[in-house]
Amino acid sequence: MSTPSCTVSSQSAAAAESNGDAGMGAAVSALPPLPTNSLVSPMLTDLYQITMAYAYWKANRHNECAVFELFFRKNPFAGEYTVFAGLDEVVKHLANFRFSSSDLEYLRNNPGLKHCEPAFFDHYLANLDCSEVKVCALEEGRICFPRIPLIIVEGPLGISQLLETTLLTLVNYPSLIATNAARMVVAARGTGSPISFASLDEGGSPDNRPKKTPKLVEFGLRRAQGADGGFSASRYSYIGGFDATSNVQAGKILGVPIAGTHAHSFVQAHSSLDEARGMTLQDQSGNDVELLGAVLKYRNDVLQGDSWATTNDSELAAFISYASSFPDNFLCLIDTYDTIRSGLRNFIMVSLVLDDLGHKPTGVRLDSGDLAFLSIECDQVFSDLALELDRPFLRDLDIVASNDINESVLHSLNKQGHRITVFGIGTNLVTCQAQPALGCVYKLVELNGKPRIKLSQDIVKVLIPGRKVAYRMYGGKDWPLIDVLVFADESPQPAVGHRILCRHPFVEQKRVAVTAKRVETLHSLVFNKGFVKKQPSLAEAKEHVKEQLKVMRPDILRRVNPAEYKVSVSNDLFNYLHKMWQTETPVVELS
């Protein structure tokens, strides 16, 4: 039996490295830290990866040279784009891949593996790491499309197979949540592209919009799918464009800005104005001012018309207590009793006192009811009083909304008009309610230098065979025109100013000729023989997403019937694919 051994060819690495990463140059870094979640190890995999590895090892084929591609076939959320994320943890996993002795002990004694030869555990798995594996990938935050590999793994068949499940787990949810977040950001405030906000579906008219560009905050930890689901949501929604999270752990470990004020229970924990008695803040001359007295002066003397005096006392006590603790971060949840007649007014009374004392109140939060209507009401009251009382701070207040918001609610709010300046989004963001899984797959495309194909009666499941590289071709104004997959050893490769024929992978008639103003190699080397590419910071990845969204055609980003971004193959690849397809598909005999 021939057993070709896998040595990473320097030739095939060329394309990836031409993308600016000298293989062993400045980018070489120390071993990256362990995966953030200690559950991430070679054991976080499906048993069948290990049984397959054993079968390869037993047949002495474990060192044959394999190329696997990790990709998805369909964009999530009925959309036409996806934000790639999760690479940082993938790289940490690759760098730390090692079965521990307790792992091996467990496997050796598992009933499903009990007849395996001991050498498989003691020699093969015990010494296995990723030193023979080479990985190219899109960079974190890359906007990407179906069939373009997110990650390309090249290495010995055994170890490459063993990476499948863990890599999928580390990419599927991060990319899904980053995409979900990006879509919500686009829905809430557009892309910042010259093509305006209003062109994205239901932008509403300009005078129906909040005065500030809305911010988005992730609030979903409590409803997330496990601690890591919550933590990943905070992390990857930030890359997708969210401004902050409520998750303190994500703030500490990742540096994501954190935000939050108080809950209904805080208001509930108060039952009378007595509880606010004696609380003080200093005025600008350093004198203590008793807050309750000052607030009641506004309630009884200044704002007495229209029954300001009948607001809920417990709520007012809670707000005064909160103000004494957070005079410079005074944001109140105003819907515990009656949003407009109680919460809003109590907030204003306390705010006026804070303003007198030189503090700048932050705003209100709405967590129930008709968010569009209530935000407009609040804004109107703020504007009227700002004029009436000559208190300009009232015009700058934030109006936070946070009840069951999702992408379609955001679009609907835009359409109705609203004055919300901060969206707090929880369950629908973190669990990706609209589609809770991205369907990335990990497929063998080449073995021992020979392209492999997987057939399927379902055309979209047919695999594009061979080791490939991908390019993004740009037109005028630096807008992306098309992505093209090309054999890694094809020549010439796409280049600026050269007209090349790009073909739909499956439909013979669909062809476009492209002459690009800029050509970008999509993959770069991230891991190879001691080289570990330094990953961008969260802020860098976030900025990358933002910059790409700005130059993406709005019809690709829109929610309803978005246009499909073209992903094509070179003419050589098309011909090879179709020849192989024809050869491997048996003619069905009907009789």
Q: Per-residue b/e over 105-137, b at no fewer than 16 CB within 10 Å? A: eebeeeeebeebeeebbeebbeebebebbbbbb
The residues near 320 (Cβ < 8 Å, ≥ 6 apart) are 276, 279, 291, 292, 295, 350
Q: Is residue 357 near a copy of itself by the rule CB under 8 A?
A: no
Q: Strands 480-487 and 567-570, how do they pair?
A: parallel
- In the shown chain, the binding pattern of residues 493 to 532 toward a copy of itself, with x for contact by CB under 8 A and - for none, equals ----------------------------------------
Of 85, 103, 86, nearest to 39 (Cα)?
103
Of 63, 193, 232, 402, the one binding a copy of itself (CB under 8 A) is: 232
**CA dist 16 to 19, 96, 524, 535, 536, Å?**
6, 23, 4, 16, 17
For residue 460, the minimal CB distance to a copy of itself (Å) is 13
Q: How far apart are the C-alpha atoms of 54 and 25, rounded to whole Å?
A: 37
Q: How far apart are the C-alpha atoms of 49 and 498, rounded to whole Å?
A: 44
Q: Is residue 66 near a copy of itself by the rule CB under 8 A?
A: yes
Looking at residues 299 to 318 of the shown chain, list those that interact with a copy of itself (rule: CB under 8 A): 310
Contact (Cβ atoms closer than 8 angstroms) between residue 123 and residue 58? no
**CA dist 84 to 66, 142, 172, 335, 402, Å?**
24, 5, 9, 38, 27
Of 309, 437, 496, 563, the one binding a copy of itself (CB under 8 A) is: 437
Which one of 8-16, 250-258, 286-294, 393-401 is the stretch in contact with a copy of itself (CB under 8 A)? Answer: 250-258
Nearer to a copy of itself, 71 or 173 (CB): 173
Of 63, 179, 237, 324, the one binding a copy of itself (CB under 8 A) is: 324
Which one of 75-83, 109-117, 405-413, 470-478 is the stretch in contact with a copy of itself (CB under 8 A)? Answer: 109-117
Judged by DSSP in three states, 474 sits in strand
For residue 328, the minimal CB distance to a copy of itself (Å) is 6
For residue 277, the minimal CB distance to a copy of itself (Å) is 7
Q: Is residue 238 near a copy of itself by the rule CB under 8 A?
A: no
For residue 80, the minimal CB distance to a copy of itself (Å) is 21
Backbone angles phi, psi at 503, to 5 degrees: -120, 145
Nearer to a copy of itself, 200 or 316 (CB): 316
Nearer to a copy of itself, 22 or 539 (CB): 539
CA atoms within a 13 Å half-sphere pointing along the CA-CB vector of 87: 31
Looking at residues 367 to 426 of the shown chain, list those that interact with a copy of itself (rule: CB under 8 A): 368
Q: Is residue 102 near a copy of itself by the rule CB under 8 A?
A: yes
Q: How far apart are the C-alpha atoms of 10 and 212, rounded to whole Å?
A: 52
Q: Which of the 8 DSSP states describes residue 500?
A: E
- Token pair belonging to 419: 């004055």
Of 13, 15, 16, 41, the one binding a copy of itself (CB under 8 A) is: 41
Q: Is residue 277 near a copy of itself by the rule CB under 8 A?
A: yes
Total residues contacting a copy of itself by CB under 8 A comes to 115
Sign of the four-CA dihedral 268, 270, 271, 272: negative
For residue 522, the minimal CB distance to a copy of itself (Å) is 23
Which one of 148-156, 231-239, 490-498, 541-549 is the stretch in contact with a copy of itself (CB under 8 A)? Answer: 231-239
Of 9, 225, 280, 383, the one binding a copy of itself (CB under 8 A) is: 225
For residue 63, the minimal CB distance to a copy of itself (Å) is 13
Nearer to a copy of itself, 57 or 531 (CB): 57
Nearer to a copy of itself, 227 or 387 (CB): 227
For residue 276, the minimal CB distance to a copy of itself (Å) is 8
Looking at residues 535 to 564 of the shown chain, list those that interact with a copy of itself (rule: CB under 8 A): none
Q: Is residue 40 near a copy of itself by the rule CB under 8 A?
A: yes
Q: Is residue 157 near a copy of itself by the rule CB under 8 A?
A: yes
For residue 395, the minimal CB distance to a copy of itself (Å) is 23
Of 91, 178, 409, 444, the one binding a copy of itself (CB under 8 A) is: 444
Nearer to a copy of itself, 318 or 378 (CB): 318
Q: Is residue 449 near a copy of itself by the rule CB under 8 A?
A: no
The distance from CA 492 to its chain's CA centroid, rounded to whole angstroms, is: 35
CA atoms within a 13 Å half-sphere pointing along the CA-CB vector of 37: 21
For residue 27, the minimal CB distance to a copy of itself (Å) is 27
Contact (Cβ atoms closer than 8 angstroms) between residue 514 and residue 520? no
Q: Using alpha carbons only, give the angle 83, 256, 253 rounded to the nearest 5 degrees.
A: 110
Q: Is residue 54 near a copy of itself by the rule CB under 8 A?
A: yes
Q: How far apart are the C-alpha atoms of 297 and 295, rounded to whole Å?
A: 5
The residues near 85 (Cβ < 8 Å, ≥ 6 apart) are 140, 141, 171, 174, 175, 177, 178, 236, 239, 240, 541
For residue 33, the minimal CB distance to a copy of itself (Å) is 13
Q: Is residue 169 near a copy of itself by the rule CB under 8 A?
A: yes
Looking at residues 335 to 354 of the shown chain, list those that interact with a copy of itself (rule: CB under 8 A): 336-338
Q: Strands 151-156 and 524-528, how do they pair?
A: unpaired
Q: Is the peptide bond prior to 492 cis by the omega test (within 30 degrees of 0)? A: yes
